[in-house]
Structure 1
Amino acid sequence: MYVAHLTLVDFRSYAQADVALEAGATAFIGRNGQGKTNLVEAIDYLARLSSHRVASDAPLVRAGAERALVRAAVVRDGRQAILEVEIHPGKSNRARVNRADLPRARELVGLVRTVIFAPDDLALVKGDPSGRRAFLDDLLVMRTPRLAGVRADYERTLRQRNSLLKTAGAARRGSTSQESALSTLGVWDAHLARTGAELLAERLRLVAQLRPLVGHAYATVARGASSDDSGLDYQPSLSLDGLDHHGGEVDRADLTDRLLEELAVRRNDELDRGISLVGPHRDELLLTLGNGDPSVPRLPVRGYASHGESWSFALALRLASYDLLRADGDDPILILDDVFAELDTERRAQLAELVAGAEQVLVTAAVADDVPEKLAGVRYHVGGGEVRRES
């Protein structure tokens, strides 16, 4: 799979951009602030309908414009399709395939697959649990697009339930007459348990599949490390004791029942605080490192790992994602967004060696010399609002 042509209209800094691309390695070279990251961000957005840089769509639309357009010609197994999305901040986006409208924009997700490496990936290991949950869910949706609906249903249910908990909590304290809110809480409990069990089951299975891949990748990019040094464990907000989850496979009906039981146990706490305290939104992906001695417990990467170890673990997570997607049968498009400036010469060479065989690798760099020789390919100069192919 690769992108053969990219068209942007009013996306970020570009009023208009048309870039012909090829399989293999392509590097966009230019000083910071010239728009090279905007190009690869657009391709990644087409894959996930979200940006790796910002939380909302508004910054993606050029100042003064009402909407932005991203269109790409994507080649897969020798066949080409035109994918496009119109970005309307605050409204529903519109998506098309070969000029035909899709019923929902999210149906575009997964038609093109990307794995992006960026300096912000350090937040995966050093940041809040929400970033690690998003990492899992984005990968889930990329592999199984129908889970975008499950994820959206869960988030919608969670918002409704939290609102009801606030109302019911106030009713219980006598500050409002809306006591009927309590009687409808059970309905939202059932919705939360059903969608939450689906999401939780998929995350558990994904972590089990990622674990050995992360170990192998970490041993490759971290000096002197072995595949046993890294740890990847899923920590749910409720006990799974007594449930069979060998290999990450858990019965969804059992998970639904367990979630309902825990919701009942935590009911008073939730009413007091006005928020949902049980469910996948409270879970954590625990990343740990060892020192080669199995008798010594691993320590959490967050708070204990050095900068180099943290960066190696972040790279390992992305490489494992790439390997998993590739095992599904499609080579995802690899995007290396300004990562080589963060690495020393040896690690640059190691990373380039690992990804050079991908069907398409898109690289951004401020300095041409930062791009390893292994990824020498087509190069574009980005500056002054123009994207110019170098001869």
Structure 2
Amino acid sequence: MYLEQLSLTDFRSYAQVDLGLEPGVTVLLGSNGIGKTNLMEAIGYLATLSSHRVSSDAPLLRFGTEQAMIRAKLVRGVQSTVLEVEINGSRPNRARINRSNPVRARDILGICQMVLFAPEDLALVKGDPSNRRRFLDELLVSLVPRHAATRSDYDRVLKQRNALLKSGRAGKFTAGHEATLDVWDQHMAGAGAALLHARLELVERLLPHLQMAYSQLTDGSKDAGAVYRSSLQGVLDDDGQTAGGGAAGGGSAGTQAEELENLRMLSVPELTDRYVRAFAASRRKELERGVSLVGPHRDELDLVLGPAPAKGYASHGETWSMCLALRLASYYVMLDDARTGGSAPILILDDVFAELDVQRRRKLAAIVSGAEQVLVTAAVEDDIPVELTGRRVKVIPGGIDEPDTR
């Protein structure tokens, strides 16, 4: 898959911009703050319906406007698809596929396959667990778009359940509230089980690619790893009965590994039952704190480098290599899907080479140069490794400065 045309209206700094693209490597050059990242952010939004820079849509609208539009033409083999996303400030976003009638924005998920590398990726290692959960869920939705509904259902139920628990903390919890909480427990258990089951399968697919990618980027002296840690661990024993220790996972590394392996073997209905029991075991503490203490929203992806956690122990260079390896692992998982009927993803490297030493630049360039389409941004030409030969495009304030030679 590759992107042939990108058009933006009132998106970030652009009142209107049109960018023609082609397969292979395209480097967008321009001073810092000129708008290169805005172009890459728009492509990322087509793929994930979210920004890698901000948590809400409001900053994506050009200042003073109420609506932004992203239009793109994607080519896969002999087929082309036109996607349009309308980002609205005061009403739900809408989308169109091949200029048809408007659909829900999430109906386009999975059409544009993309892996984006950016300086913000440092948060995957150095940030809080929500960054790593988001990484897993965005990749999951790219691979299996129906899980967008799974995530949405879980977030909706979690919000309702937390509101009920807060009322209990305020001393307003009655027998009627208790019955209502039982109902929400069932809903949250079902949605949470589906999400956990999908995440565990994804981590299993991701791990060998992560190990390989980290080895490709470094001298191979340390092994990279990732271990999913569920909030179910430590709440229930191996038989699904209440265990000592409260609402957060504990115990030795060996015990945790055994618990995780047991969770991997369970079906969605079996995980649903585990969650229902875990909610019951944690109810007193949840009412005291006014929040849900068990569920996928409390889970963690522990990143490991050699014998130690990556967070807090990895050097700056090792941290960058781990972040890049996570993105490359995503790319390899998508390539696995492409071989069975999916689409090879577009690779975006947004101002990444300026952050790397010469050795890592060359290794990363050698890995990605064979992709169907690679889009790179840089402030200066010297940051681009010689291995990334291809088209150069100059970005200027508000647009593109390139003669049309095609």
Partner residue, 1:252: 268
Q: Distance in 2 between matches of 1:177 and 1:271?
A: 9
Residue type at the aligned position of 2:305: L
Q: Distance in 1 between matches of 2:303 and 2:282?
A: 27
Deviation digits for residues 73-103 of structure 1, max 9, x if unmatched?
0001221111010001342101000111343
> Are the equivalent residues in 2 in contact too, given 1:6–1:70 (CA < 8 A)?
yes
Q: Distance in 2 between matches of 1:149 and 1:94?
A: 16
Residue type at the aligned position of 2:22: E
Deviation digits for residues 104-162 of structure 1, max 9, x if unmatched?
11011110111000011110001000000000000000000000000000000000000
Aligned residue for 1:302, secondary structure, equals coil
Partner residue, 1:119: 119
> Are the equivalent residues in 1 in contact too, given 2:35–2:398 (CA < 8 A)?
yes
TM-aligned CA distance change 1:51 to 1:112, over 3 Å: same
Q: Distance in 2 between matches of 1:217 and 1:303?
A: 21
Q: Distance in 1 between matches of 2:70 and 2:266?
A: 39
Partner residue, 1:376: 389
> Are the equivalent residues in 2 in contact too, given 1:119–1:339 (CA < 8 A)?
yes
Q: Distance in 2 between matches of 1:203 and 1:217?
A: 20
Residue type at the aligned position of 1:316: A
Residue type at the aligned position of 1:241: D
Q: Post-superposition shift, 1:166?
A: 1.1
Q: Post-superposition shift, 1:375?
A: 1.5
The structure 1 residue matched to 2:377, chosen from 364, 367, 373, is 364
Aligned residue for 1:53, secondary structure, equals coil
Q: Post-superposition shift, 1:179?
A: 4.7
TM-aligned CA distance change 1:371 to 1:377, over 3 Å: same
> Are the equivalent residues in 2 in contact too, given 1:208–1:248 (CA < 8 A)?
no
Partner residue, 1:263: 279
Aligned residue for 1:34, secondary structure, equals coil
Q: Post-superposition shift, 1:384?
A: 2.2
Q: Displaced runs of 4+ in structure 1, greater than 6 A?
A: none
Q: Does 1:232 align with 2:245?
A: no
Residue type at the aligned position of 1:302: K
Coordinate RMSD, CA, aligned? 1.6
TM-score (ref. length: structure 2): 0.90
Q: Does 1:344 align with 2:357?
A: yes
> Are the equivalent residues in 2 in contact too, given 1:94–1:101 (CA < 8 A)?
no
TM-score (ref. length: structure 1): 0.93
- Mind listing any 5+ residue stretches in structure 1 that lack a counterpart? 291-297
TM-aligned CA distance change 1:22 to 1:177, over 3 Å: closer
Q: Does 1:103 align with 2:108?
A: no
Q: Distance in 1 between matches of 2:108 and 2:272?
A: 29
Partner residue, 1:215: 211
1:292-311 to 2 correspondence within 5 Å? 298-311=307-320
TM-aligned CA distance change 1:326 to 1:94, over 3 Å: same
Residue type at the aligned position of 1:232: A
TM-aligned CA distance change 1:247 to 1:365, over 3 Å: farther
Partner residue, 1:205: 201
Q: Distance in 2 between matches of 1:101 and 1:319?
A: 36
- Mind listing any 5+ residue stretches in structure 2 that lack a counterpart? 240-258
Q: Distance in 2 between matches of 1:380 and 1:389?
A: 6
> Are the equivalent residues in 1 in contact too, given 2:73–2:80 (CA < 8 A)?
yes
The structure 2 residue matched to 1:192, chosen from 188, 197, 214, is 188
Aligned residue for 2:312, secondary structure, equals helix
Q: Post-superposition shift, 1:200?
A: 0.3
> Are the equivalent residues in 2 in contact too, given 1:32–1:366 (CA < 8 A)?
yes
Q: Post-superposition shift, 1:191?
A: 0.5
Q: Does 1:317 align with 2:326?
A: yes
Residue type at the aligned position of 2:284: N
Q: Does 1:385 align with 2:398?
A: yes
Aligned residue for 2:292, secondary structure, equals coil
Q: Does 1:24 align with 2:24?
A: yes
Partner residue, 1:48: 48
Q: Post-superposition shift, 1:30?
A: 0.3
The structure 2 residue matched to 1:288, chosen from 284, 304, 307, is 304
TM-aligned CA distance change 1:104 to 1:34, over 3 Å: same
Deviation digits for residues 303-332 of structure 1, max 9, x if unmatched?
111111111100000000000001101210
Q: Distance in 2 between matches of 1:332 and 1:224?
A: 26
Partner residue, 1:332: 345
Q: Post-superposition shift, 1:346?
A: 1.3
Aligned residue for 2:145, secondary structure, equals coil
Q: Does 1:274 align with 2:270?
A: no
Deviation digits for residues 200-240 of structure 1, max 9, x if unmatched?
001111111111110000111123435xx111100000127
Partner residue, 1:295: none
Q: Post-superposition shift, 1:245?
A: 4.4
Deviation digits for residues 223-264 of structure 1, max 9, x if unmatched?
3435xx111100000127357947945311111111111100
1:145-160 to 2 correspondence within 5 Å? 145-160=145-160
Q: Distance in 1 between matches of 2:19 and 2:263?
A: 44
Partner residue, 2:244: none
Aligned residue for 1:304, secondary structure, equals coil
> Are the equivalent residues in 2 in contact too, given 1:2–1:76 (CA < 8 A)?
yes
Aligned residues: 378
Aligned residue for 1:101, secondary structure, equals coil
TM-aligned CA distance change 1:79 to 1:237, over 3 Å: same
TM-aligned CA distance change 1:133 to 1:63, over 3 Å: same
1:178-189 to 2 correspondence within 5 Å? 179-189=175-185
Q: Distance in 2 between matches of 1:100 and 1:246?
A: 46
Q: Post-superposition shift, 1:339?
A: 0.2
Q: Distance in 1 between matches of 2:16 and 2:193?
A: 44
Q: Percent identity?
A: 54
